[in-house]
Amino acid sequence: MENRSENHYDILIAGAGFAGSLTALILQKSGFKVGLLEKGQHPRFTIGESSTPVADMILRKLSSTYDLPWLYDFSRYGTWQQSHPEIVCGIKRGFSFFKHYPGEEFTTDENHKNELLVAASSSDIESDTNWLRADFDAFLVSKVKESGIDYFDLAEITTATRIGEWEFRVSRSDKNEVIYSSFFIDATGSGDLAGRLFEIESSSSGFFTNSFALFSHFDHVPLWKEMLKKFNIPINDFPYNPDHSALHQILDEGWLWMLRFNNDLTSLGFVIDDSEGAYDKLSTEEIWNDLLAKYPSIKTIFKDATLAKMPGKIIRSARLQRKLNHCFGEGWVALPHTVGFVDPLFSSGIAHTLSGVEKLVDSIKQFWGNDTLFYKSLQEYEHKVFEELKLADCLIAGCYKTMAHFELFNVWSMFYFAATIAHEQRRLKNKAPGYFLNADDPNIRKMVYNSYDDLLKIISSKAPSTEEIRDFTNLVKERIQPFNIAGLLDPASKNMYHHTVAVL
């Protein structure tokens, strides 16, 4: 790329979370002159902390493809600890679910009727990670600065005009600047900037899922493993320590996430189904206290826990579901988390975002300078992201429909794990990654969407009968069979899945 004067860039990126910073580093390695803007300042609190095997695969691919050898170390807990123990993270061995009932202490039986543990790695060394985003995002910004990329923090774009190239007017501290670029990437993680600059609407219309979150970071959170021992619940056949996982406490009206880091810090958040609008007039404190009063074992988790210094308060989100009407236009595009979001239930956010980075930088490299082909590639990118959000929405909505009936929840969640296995296998065979969660596979789409309709029929007006649950279980087992290389729904597993992991 030709050298240009100061404040002139081939590509300007707004948003210095992990996705914006990685995109900047990759594009610079690809020969582009890049600028990176950040409205805030690092380190900063944010969530979206739980990684997955697919995210790890993409990190390793980006590392090798774009000559970022240091990035590889962050794809496994073991190499992360060897290379950067000062950057806080946590072990994530898999997904753990424990069902709670109103007014009752947590209990289960020898068949783990109220438990579901699904391994995603074979050992702690090989495991995925929970990212302390304040640390990890700040580290990536340090790599941006080290690389010589121009970085502007405390910088807010006030106007954008395009005549041949972009002219951005930027408010920064006590002065205003003008920045020029040929192309713009919105990595801000919300639809606000695209709405303000490009008049693109972001809405929640069309989503099946309707949820919001209450969350923060806490110190002194007791180990769930130790609480189970106090409840006299054996854990000797668990595939891993549940505290080293994305731990979900399933309630009738939603769930509580517990993501533990290796410095005694724990990320905790309730995600609540609001499809009936029952919480609109309640305060954050009222909702929080009502949930603790309703579920005794959940209350015990918070008995001695204290709010961490950052953020130092409980945060309440608006409705989580949102999607831009368009995610690109003349001279600009948005990364997936800016485009839209469904819900954090299956920790798909990091992987989905990285898959978007992967797709987008490939398009920029291939078609830069050919406006016709570049525009067509961005149209395809938009279709992919929208279809990925649609599939994730259906997978997650079915979980909320079944949270009061854990046996059904257990069964429905197998569609997510089947889709994930299919996508992992595609990547392990070095095939083109296609759509995230194989949302381009007509068999996956048909399986999920038809089954969602079948699910609604048995839960629409009444509690499902034992016979209906049995028949639906058999139906799901039959439908996931082409993708089920991990023994999902094998009664002998007793809801403890040790061997769903891919050989990475």
Are residues 222 and 281 both part of a single domain?
yes
Region 221-226: what's the mean pLDDT? 98
Q: Which structural domain, as residue segments, surrounds residue 68?
A: 8-84+132-205+321-379
Residue 500 above 70 pLDDT? Answer: no
Q: Any idea what the CATH number is for the domain that residue 109 is in?
A: 3.30.9.100
Are residues 373 and 433 both part of a single domain?
no
Task: Provide the pLDDT for residue 462.
Answer: 78
Task: Provide the pLDDT for residue 460.
Answer: 80
The answer to whether 112 touches 74, Cβ cutoff 8 Å, is no
Of 447, 461, 386, 462, whose CA–CA distance to 412 is shortest? Answer: 447
Q: To which H or E segment does residue 180 belong? A: strand 175-186
Are residues 233 and 283 both part of a single domain?
yes
Are residues 280 and 407 both part of a single domain?
no
Q: What is the pLDDT of residues 18-55, one digit of tens each?
A: 999 999 999 999 999 999 999 999 999 999 999 999 99
Task: Provide the pLDDT for residue 316.
Answer: 98
The pLDDT mean for the chain works out to 96
Looking at the structure of the chain, the number of domains it has is: 3
Residue 168 above 80 pLDDT? Answer: yes
Residue 235 above 50 pLDDT? Answer: yes
Q: What is the pLDDT of residues 67-97, one digit of tens each?
A: 999 999 999 999 999 999 999 999 999 999 9
- What percentage of the chain reaches a pLDDT higher than 70? 98
Are residues 36 and 98 both part of a single domain?
no
Of the candidates 298, 316, 334, which is a domain's last residue?
Answer: 316
Q: Any idea what the CATH number is for the domain that residue 45 is in?
A: 3.50.50.60
Are residues 220 and 361 both part of a single domain?
no
Residue 466 above 60 pLDDT? Answer: yes
Residue 373 above 90 pLDDT? Answer: yes
Residue 503 above 90 pLDDT? Answer: no
Please enumerate in sequence order all residues whose Cβ is within 8 A of that of 332, keeping only pairs 6 or more positions apart, or say none: 166, 183, 184, 185, 186, 198
- 2: in domain: no
Amino acid (one-letter) located at 208: F
Q: What is the pLDDT of residues 257-297, one digit of tens each?
A: 999 999 999 999 999 999 999 999 999 999 999 999 999 99
- 476: in domain: yes
Are residues 289 and 200 both part of a single domain?
no
- 334: in domain: yes
Query: What is the C-alpha to C-alpha distance for residues 69 and 475, in angstroms, rounded to an integer?
Result: 46
Task: Provide the pLDDT for residue 6.
Answer: 77
Task: Provide the pLDDT for residue 463.
Answer: 86
DSSP letter at 258? E
Q: What is the pLDDT of residues 335-356, one digit of tens each?
A: 999 999 999 999 999 999 999 9
Residue 183 above 70 pLDDT? Answer: yes
- 389: in domain: no
Are residues 137 and 42 both part of a single domain?
yes
Query: What is the C-alpha to C-alpha distance for residues 66 and 353, in angstroms, rounded to an integer?
Result: 17
Please enumerate in sequence order all residues whose Cβ is within 8 A of that of 388, keeping only pairs 6 or more positions apart, or say none: 336, 352, 355, 435, 436, 437, 439
Task: Provide the pLDDT for residue 2.
Answer: 40
Residue 461 above 90 pLDDT? Answer: no
Q: Give the DSSP per-residue string, 285-341.
A: HHHHHHHHHH-HHHHHHTSS-EE-TTT-S-EE-S-S-EEES-SEETTEEE-HHHHEE
- pLDDT-derived band at 502, boundaries 50, 70, 90: low
Are residues 340 and 434 both part of a single domain?
no
Cα distances (angstroms) measured from residue 373 to each of 380, 405, 435: 11, 49, 20
Task: Provide the pLDDT for residue 3.
Answer: 41
Region 455-470: what's the mean pLDDT? 90
